Amino acid sequence: MLTTESFLLNPSWAAGRPAEPRETGDIRDFHSNLPDYAVTPLVSLPTVAEGLGLAAVLVKDESLRLGLPAFKMLGASWAVHRALQSSDRERPRLVTATDGNHGRAVARMAKLTGLPATIVVPQGVSERAIEAIRTEGAEVRVLDLPYDDAVRAAAALADADADALLVQDTSWPGYEDVPQWIVDGYATLFDEAADQAAELGTGVDLIVVPAGVGSLAHAAVTFGRSHPDCRVVSVEPDVADCVRASLAAGTLTTVPTGQTSMAGLNCGTPSYLAWPDLEKGLAGAVVVDEDAATQAVAELGRLGVDAGPCGAASLAALRILAAEPARSCLGLGADSSVLLLSTEGSQASG
């Protein structure tokens, strides 16, 4: 196992696996018919690529996705759509726990479908984020609990209400369908990016994906499996490195969490559903600190990309990955093209 203070090469990862088929056209068609749908920008950063000795650095800018300042609406909308198709409830109440963006996306889908929603919020979430969820018309319950405990509270709330429908973006044994639909919904982001990169005359050799519970990373790994030369590396705050800790241990691992501006990544346990694919499909994991994320926000802003700390973490991670020893481990060179996922704008909820 190769590990440094910031980078871990996944000991379970192996390059050169054959490509696996992936059918996602129906998901993209669904999203294209939602209000405010537009393909989000793919921004080329030639000065960054040159400085890091890479062929291309491309940023998928999710600062405005389906009318909201983060990518989460892709997963929430598809999951609610599929869950309503599968439910026999006439008018369910949507329930979820959130540290910001996911809860607002579920609340927006409730508003679009004319359904009530209850959003459980853990400690540490800003008043701005809470108010943004309330503006969607949802009931918000703020609990003095960490994120993982808030998820358990939301699940208990849903279990106690026969009309409730839990729309959670993490999973556990017996609760896997909705989290899988959320992962599936993120496919649109990657399909768009692949098309846009091809229009620029390049492919994608490495994806750097911010990871909280790992749902977006799960979607990135699924996309990467359909492109055999594409590597995927996760990035987390150094105070909430549950994916890196799990890869190092070779088993699903819970870590304590701390305070971070990267609120959407402040999760202590990877998704049960995501973990088997993350263990095999992630090439590695990086952690970044507050200073690195803050500097990356400022740098992306100067380059014309509106990014919050969670989204900018991908650029902070790339600076670690483009240097040794990670560079050689990942096979990065002057002909490599890197996709950074900037998952939120500066006005996002966290």
Positions annotated as catalytic residues are 72, 99
Q: Residues 156-167, buried b or exposed e (16+ Cβ, 10 A)?
A: ebbeeeeebbbb
Q: E strands of 108-243, at which residues?
A: 117-121, 139-142, 164-166, 206-210, 231-237
From the list 68, 148, 158, the residue with the least C-alpha distance to 104 is: 68
Radius of gyration of the chain measured on its C-alpha atoms:
19
From the list 32, 33, 35, 40, the residue with the least C-alpha distance to 65 is: 40
The H or E element spanning position 243 is: helix 242-249
CA–CA separation, 108 and 132 (whole Å): 10
Residues 6 or more apart whose Cβ sits within 8 Å of residue 117: 93, 94, 95, 96, 106, 107, 110, 111, 136, 137, 138, 139
Say what the alpha-carbon torsion angle 192, 194, 198, 204 is, to the nearest 10 degrees.
150
Q: In one letter, which amino acid is 146?
A: P
Q: In one letter, which amino acid is 207?
A: I
CA–CA separation, 185 and 200 (whole Å): 25
Q: Cα separations (Å) of 156 from 104, 130, 150, 190, 347?
A: 20, 21, 10, 33, 31
Q: E strands of 244-333, at which residues?
A: 284-288
CA–CA separation, 308 and 326 (whole Å): 25
Structure tokens at 147: 């994120």
**What counts of helices (H) and strands (E) characterise the chain?**
14, 11
